Amino acid sequence: MEQDEKIQTLSAVKTGVMGRCPQCGEGKLFEGYLELASCCNKCDLDYSFADSGDGPAVFVMLIVGFIVVTAAVIVDILYQPAYWIHAVIWLPVVIILPLLILRPLKGWWVNNQFSRNAREGKYTDL
């Protein structure tokens, strides 16, 4: 399989969630927990094109908020626990769930930018 064919067949979801390079699917995408590496350690793809901005964080807030509020309302209706029990249950969930979701979502976001050749918009006079 030629390199061009391999690039086109890589899934942005699969490589992004695994934190892999969008071009080769083998190199590391992240240097730290959420910090992108400067380039791929396998194929030397420059990651300067990547700008996830606040997109992944917004989606994480919406997803976690929906899950926690829905679950808290259901628990409250079914069991009517004291407020301190709600705090004991939902505070760890509100802290841990975003940490589990944010990195894979950011990886997908960056790899999707690569697969769609998305770049920063530039203003030009016509």
pLDDT tens for 35-89 read 999 999 999 999 988 888 899 999 999 999 999 999 999 999 999 999 999 999 9
- Whether 44 maps to a domain, the answer reads yes
pLDDT-based confidence at residue 18 (cuts at 50, 70, 90): very high
- Whether 125 maps to a domain, the answer reads no
- Whether 51 maps to a domain, the answer reads yes
Q: 46-79 burial, b if ≥16 CB within 10 A, otherwise e?
A: ebeebebeeebeebbeeebeeebeeebeeeeeee
**Radius of gyration over alpha carbons of the chain, in Å?**
19
- Whether 76 maps to a domain, the answer reads yes
- Whether 96 maps to a domain, the answer reads yes
Domain that holds residue 38: 3-115
Could you tell me if 107 and 30 are in contact, meaning their C-beta atoms sit under 8 angstroms apart? yes
- pLDDT on residue 54: 92
Share of the chain above pLDDT 90, in %: 76
Count of structural domains, the chain? 1
Could you tell me if 68 and 94 are in contact, meaning their C-beta atoms sit under 8 angstroms apart? yes
- Whether 94 maps to a domain, the answer reads yes
- pLDDT on residue 5: 46
